[in-house]
Structure 1
Amino acid sequence: MSNQLPDHVRDAFRVGAGPAEQLGQAWDYGFRVGNTVFAKAMAPEVTGWSSKTRETLKPEGVRVVRPIRSTDGRFVVAGWRASVFSTGTISKRVDETVVAALRLADALVDAHAPEPVDNVFHRADVQAWEDQPGRIGELLQPINRVNQVGHADMLATTLYAGTQPPAVTDLVPVLRPHGFTAALVIVDGLLLGAVDEGILRRFSHLPDIDQLVLRAFLFRRNVQEFSENNDPNIISNLNRVESTLVSYVSDKI
């Protein structure tokens, strides 16, 4: 699929001529034209689910970027999707994003998940919830709670602009217990060095959060291994966070 935004896609979403500004990670490196952001739909079924869910989702204290339908009502046209642009940038406000993740999970409690796509992320998630060898495996305990839809990439898709509520640009579905989205935010913040390890204590009141954080870490480590990404910085960060989590959880047992 070409990276260039086709004119017929603009027309389908009622967007005329004008410069296309490429955006960053939070927008899937799509293109902004006026107040519309176009991004490629790498998995159309998941993209359609995200768009349909975001169309009416109203979590308390969290802005949700709304999708735009084409002239004939579709969410995806020729491999492209469109959303309403929202101001803000990805920030190191990790604690606030954990709170936003919990509110988002509350709003998604009755949502139906799409059929899983067989890719690296799905396989990494499945394996993260199986029995594990090593130091983390010795700390794992069952979590006897029902699964619900969550967001697997909250930190990378949450924008902040001054005192406005955070804005979520997309939803990446994952079917795990309530709190898993928040656990992923904690792990991602630690991996990026965007937050101190005290965040583990600050949210220790959440049900099963230690176990959810361990599973979230395994998910991220599996993604790295399945992707065969041997970037030494990523591996170093994974080792650092693993040691932090093992030490923290071990001290509580």
Structure 2
Amino acid sequence: MYQETVPAHVVDAFQGVPGLPEPAGHGWDHGWRIGPYVYSRACGVAAGWSAKLRGTLQVDGVRLARPVRSTDGRFVVAGWKASTWIDGELARRVDETVLVALRLAEALAAQPAPPEPEQADPFVLADQRAWEEDAPEYRPVTGPLQVGHADLLASTLYHGTQAPVVTDLVPFAAPRPAAYTAALVIVDGLIAGAVDDGIIDRFRHLPDMDQLLLRAVSYRRHVNDLHPESTSNARSHIRRVEDLLMSEAPDTN
């Protein structure tokens, strides 16, 4: 798929250095690296919220890609955002990313939710539908709700033994339980075939994890149903994981 290259006037607005744009990869929203910065398309009203938080948020054992302001103080210019480049790659280190999720959730617990989008997108609708489902395996999840990260596995980079890097904050569509970020990481790892099924037992001790995993895989199923770029191959992997989680759900009868 063709990706629009960052315009020169955007680079100038962020006081970036001129140079040949290099694809930064999926972990950077398919943006472009030029010198010390990565330029990516800014999606939705959450882009400014994410930038402000990444500028100040401290997460134990985790590095955040810090945002860059334009010459007039903006985080978004002509639909583009800029972040400081940090070496790292997406990796099949799902258990470690679950730990990142738990630390990030703790840091985000007191943070306000982002502004509501002007119109419902596939991710908002998918979240609503996932949490409205009432299959027999589902039961109510209690406890405090908070903002969290909806796509952490695809936003966490690793470089040797250095602390992992979170390139962006992709918020939940609505406040959810703290461990839901971790549940999404587990589900995404299982769907991608990046981790063994034993990860379910390794983190089953987290509050309501069985239920959060069911909601997380339901969310991915609805995203796949609603998103125009979804594929039938992805749907088959989601169904495999959903069947696994349904079979492992505690008997509520």
- TM-score under structure 1 length normalisation: 0.94
Amino acid at match of 1:23: A
Aligned pairs (5 A) from 1:1-253: 3-43=4-44, 45-117=45-117, 118-132=120-134, 137-174=135-172, 175-227=175-227, 231-250=231-250
Check whether the contact 1:146–1:177 (CA below 8 A) recurs between aligned residues: yes
Report if the CA contact (8 A) 2:62-2:163 is conserved: yes
The gaps in structure 2 that reach 5 residues or longer are none
Is residue 68–residue 75 contact of structure 1 (8 Å, CA) maintained in 2? Answer: yes
CA contact (8 A) 1:109 1:149 kept: yes
Say which SS state the counterpart of residue 126 (structure 1) adopts: helix
Amino acid at match of 2:149: H
Contact conserved, 1:116 with 1:122, CA < 8 A, in 2?
Answer: no
Deviation at 1:227, TM superposition (A): 2.0
CA distance in 2 between counterparts of 1:27 and 1:157 reads 7
Structure 2: distance between partners of 1:138 and 1:201: 21
CA distance in 2: counterparts of 1:151 and 1:241, whole angstroms: 20
Shift in Å, 1:7:
1.8
- CA 1:23–1:71 in 2, change beyond 3 Å: closer, same or farther? same
What is the root-mean-square deviation of aligned Cα atoms in Å? Answer: 1.5
Instruction: Measure, in 2, the Cα distance between the counterparts of 1:232 and 1:129.
Output: 23
Instruction: Tell me if the contact between 2:5 and 2:32 (Cα under 8 Å) persists in the aligned partners.
Output: no
- Give the length in aligned residue pairs: 247
Deviation at 1:164, TM superposition (A): 0.7
1:52-85 deviation digits (Å, cap 9, x = unpaired) = 1111011101111100011111101111110000
Say whether the 8 Å CA contact 2:17–2:35 is kept in structure 1: no
1:232 deviates by 2.9
CA contact under 8 A between 1:62 and 1:168: conserved in structure 2?
Answer: yes
- Could you say what secondary structure the match of 1:95 adopts? helix
For residue 250 of structure 1, report the CA deviation from its aligned partner.
Answer: 4.0
Structure 1 segments of 4+ aligned residues over 3 angstroms from their partners: 250-253
Shift of 1:229: 5.6
Please state which structure has a larger fraction of its residues in helix. 1
